[in-house]
Amino acid sequence: MRAALEANGKASLRQRDLPAHVVVYYVIALGLYMQSSYREVLRCLLEGIQWLMGPSATMRVASKAGISQARTRPGWEVLRHLHDAVVRPIAGRDTKGAWFADWRLVSLDGSTLDVADEAGNEAAFGRPGASRGSSAFPQIRFVSLVENGTRVLFGSEMAPCATSEITLARPVLARLQPGMLCLADRHFFGYDMWNLARGNGADLLWRLRKNLRLEHDRRLPDGSCLSRIYPSERDRRHGANAVVVRVIDYRLEGIAGAEPIYRLMTT
């Protein structure tokens, strides 16, 4: 906590009722006790601190204005620093749904979150369009890696709602590690994105668009086959810069006329 404050130049230089490290704990507590008022959450937090420090310690619950001023001092950079240092996959070997063979299962996905209807949030994040004007709330768009067995979101990137998920996914993929099997939906697939993800040593299993051209180079015993992807049509014609991939396709059982669903896996 203190390291994150010092790294961002936000450590308290003088004694306050709400020093910077207490404010960061307070912001975390607000997310855990969303049903309680700001002052009630602070009161509970200070009671816990007083219990740790002993009965001689005196704690005073700040006014609403004091709380508001204290929350603006650390800034978002400290929380981002703390998040990136602490939030990571936590599944053990016995965690249900977290593993396939020796791979740790993670998924790449994105969504949006409504934020408070305030002028500052609207200026920073914007509002999505609606059938009549604009949305009732500003929105943040985010992309994360999700540990499948625990649903822990890590490596998250956030931006205004008009930002594309592909743009946000690029820095997120840097958090992949060897020993992970990353699942992703078809709109994330592209030659550059594929190479960026596999460059970190993780294995990939991504769904594809059905109109992607994939030559079947060699059929494997399990029914999948080897193929190649290229950065452009020109490279395809010249056989240049190819990346070998494994193609898995199957039809939805029991659904007449169902189209094949294609997935690519690293070889």
13 pLDDT tier (thresholds 50, 70, 90): low
| DSSP reduced 3-state for 201 | coil
- Spell out the domain ranges in the chain: 2-85, 93-203, 208-267
**Geometric angle at alpha carbon 7, from 6 and 9, rounded to 5°:** 60
Q: Which of 155, 256, 180, 267 is nearest to 220 (CA)?
A: 267
DSSP 263: E
* pLDDT of the residue at 58: 63
**Residues 201-232: tens digit of each pLDDT:** 999 999 988 778 888 888 888 888 899 999 99
Question: Does the pLDDT value for residue 181 go beyond 90?
Answer: yes
pTM for the model stands at: 0.81
Give residue 44's identity as a one-letter amino acid code: C
Q: Which of 33, 31, 11 is nearest to 22 (CA)?
A: 11
* pLDDT of the residue at 26: 86
Token pair belonging to 220: 């494997």
**Residues 161-178: tens digit of each pLDDT:** 999 999 999 999 999 999
What are the angstrom distances between the C-alpha of 70 and each of 20, 22, 32, 49, 175? 8, 10, 19, 17, 32
What's the CA dihedral at 239, 259, 264, 105 to 10 degrees? Answer: 170
Token pair belonging to 76: 């978002």
